[in-house]
Structures are given as C-alpha cells and as structure tokens.
Amino acid sequence: QGARKVRLDGDLRAVLLEAPGRCVPYAVIEGVVQSVKETLSSQFVENCKGVVQRLTLQEHKMVWNRTTHLWNDYEKIIHQRTNTTPFDLVPAQDSAGVTVRVMKPLEAAELSLETVYEKFHPSVQSFTDVIGHYISGERPKGIQETEQMLKVGTALTGVGELVLDNATIKLQPPKQGMPYYLSSLDFESLLQKQESSVRIWKILTVVFGFATCAVLFFLLRKQYRHHRQRQHLRQMQEEFRQAQERLLNTEGGEILKNACVVCLSSTKSCVFLECGHVCSCHECYQALPEPKKCPICRQGITRVVSLYNS
C-alpha cells in the first residue's frame, strides 16, 4: 500500500532525477515484457518466445502410511532448470521510447510464469514390480514434465526499487527487505490478493489467540480450585485440632473419651453389630451414607443397639 505508483512514460526520467539519490525505494510500475537481445524459445511449442524459461521434472508416487493405513499421494521435484535472458518493461503503446530494465527476476516473491507445456509420463510396471512396490510401501505413478515461460509481450506489474543508473532505469529488489513482485496481475488485483492473505493470517491469529486465552483460563481456574480445596482442608484440620484440644482440656479428658468419633460433640449412644464398636451418636449414625459401615473398622452394620449411660 505504501508503494509509489509511477507511470512508464517520458516523465519517468525526470521523476527519478528529482528523487533523493535518483531512487524511489518502493515503486509500482506497469509495462509489457520486451527482450533486450535474444529470446528463449520453447522446447515443445513452436513460435513461443520468452525471457524466463523453467523446465521441471516432478515425480508422482503413492506412499503407504503405516499410521493411517492409507496410500497417500507424494510429489517430489527431481530436476528443475531455469533459464533467463535480460528483458525490459516498455509502455503498452510504444510512443515515448522509455524502457525499464528488470534486474534479478528470479528473486521476486511472485513471478508469474505461464505453463506452455505439460505432459504426464506414466510408469510401466510388471507384476513383480507391483509386488515389490507393495512390500516396500511405495508405488510410482509416473513423471510429470512441465515447461513454464514468461513470454514476450506479457503485461507485467513490477513492485520494487526503481533507480536511475547512468542512463539506464532499473527495477530491482528493495534494499529494505520489502517483497519484490513481478506479477501478471494489475496493481489493484495484486493488492487485493495480498490483503486477502493478510486477512487470513489475522483471522488465524485471533482464533489461536482466543484458544490460548481459553486454555490459560481453564488452567488457572483449575489451579485456583485446587488452592481453595487445600485451603479448606487445612481449615478443617485446624478446626478438628482445636476441637480435640478443647475436649482434652474439659473435665480431664472424660468428655473426649465418651465423645462421638464423627462429630466430637455428642456422646456415644450406639453399639454397631456385628463388629461391636461403640463409637457414634444416634444422629451421626443416621447421617452415615448407604450402605452404612462402621467408621472404625469399615465393616457393614447389620443392627444397631442403643446405649444408655446411667
């Protein structure tokens, strides 16, 4: 968005002469591709001329995934060669005679190449080869041969550093580390494409940010609950200790001797059978969960006999 849009016309040289250091650090310029000297000819298509040629051999095969137990497609570039020749950007209507030399096109973050030839060569397999491929877990499908070119006469949008070097105007990668573009899209379409990409990354950042905050919230909430439970347990232990001390200090410990082991306040009034323990008051016996078990030995209570002290 901050790139300065300049026109490829007779005023371009004057604009660069007025710029500091005869340089526009980040500029947008649109023109048509024109070779400087000789052009590159397609190896497969007649009368197809270009300035950038990329030949690719790509291997296609199926690989057995031992985790999912499925055959997955696998692609690998086994050979790639890129040929270039110097080229300029010229106005669509060649009237002003102004040209811009494009430098280091292969360093562009987006270099629009047109696929002019594509052919898939399937692999021929015998029966023994098929058996060997199933054993090894790899099944070759074939080789795909592709030729891509930046053809002469292609409308190109360049985004980069524009500099006047002696009498030559050059478009080159920016020194500030900003992206360098050579795209067949017009500037508005290229800008919308980059904004869509940025929007997707922003959405993913927000989603993962909310997910991280939610995980941290649940972890902190869990730790807070554990802290509250430990604090409550310590408080109950302290109250139990204080109750024991009060009972020990009352009537020479006689009350503690006959106190219910559950509430430590009422006197024992029940005999549990068949174990025979005398350890609880009638109210605490009623509060025991089903099936009722002796608080001392954890044996099941089949019968209760009331105890009366005279």
- Going by CATH, does the domain composed of 257-306 fall within 3.40.50.720? no
Which DSSP string corresponds to 20-70?
GGGEEEEEEEEEEEEESS--EEPSSSTT-EEEEEEEEEEEEEEEEETTTTE
pLDDT at residue 247, rounded to an integer = 66
pLDDT tens-place string over residues 182-216: 988 888 888 888 888 888 888 889 999 999 999 99
Are the C-beta atoms of 24 and 3 separated by less than 8 Å?
no
Instruction: State yes or no: pLDDT of 251 exceeds 70.
Output: no
| Chain centroid offset of residue 135 CA | 35
Q: Outline where 180-281 has alpha helix (H).
A: 187-248, 254-257
pLDDT tens-place string over residues 9-29: 888 888 888 888 888 899 999
For the chain, the domains span 4-185, 188-228, 257-306
Maximum distance among all alpha carbons in the chain?
A: 127
Question: Which residue in 104, 113, 101 sits closest to 174, CA to CA?
Answer: 104
Which DSSP string corresponds to 177-207?
S---EEESS-HHHHHHHHHHHHHHHHHHHHH
Higher pLDDT, 246 or 252: 246
Residues 6+ apart with CB under 8 A from 10: 96, 97, 98
pLDDT at residue 309, rounded to an integer = 64
Q: How many CB atoms within 10 Å of residue 71?
A: 14
Are the C-beta atoms of 285 and 270 separated by less than 8 Å?
yes
pLDDT at residue 85, rounded to an integer = 93
pLDDT at residue 228, rounded to an integer = 92
Round to whole Å and give the CA distance between 158 and 201. 24
Per-residue confidence band for 290, with pLDDT thresholds at 50, 70 and 90: confident
pLDDT at residue 252, rounded to an integer = 47
pLDDT tens-place string over residues 80-102: 999 999 999 998 876 557 889 99
Higher pLDDT, 274 or 221: 221
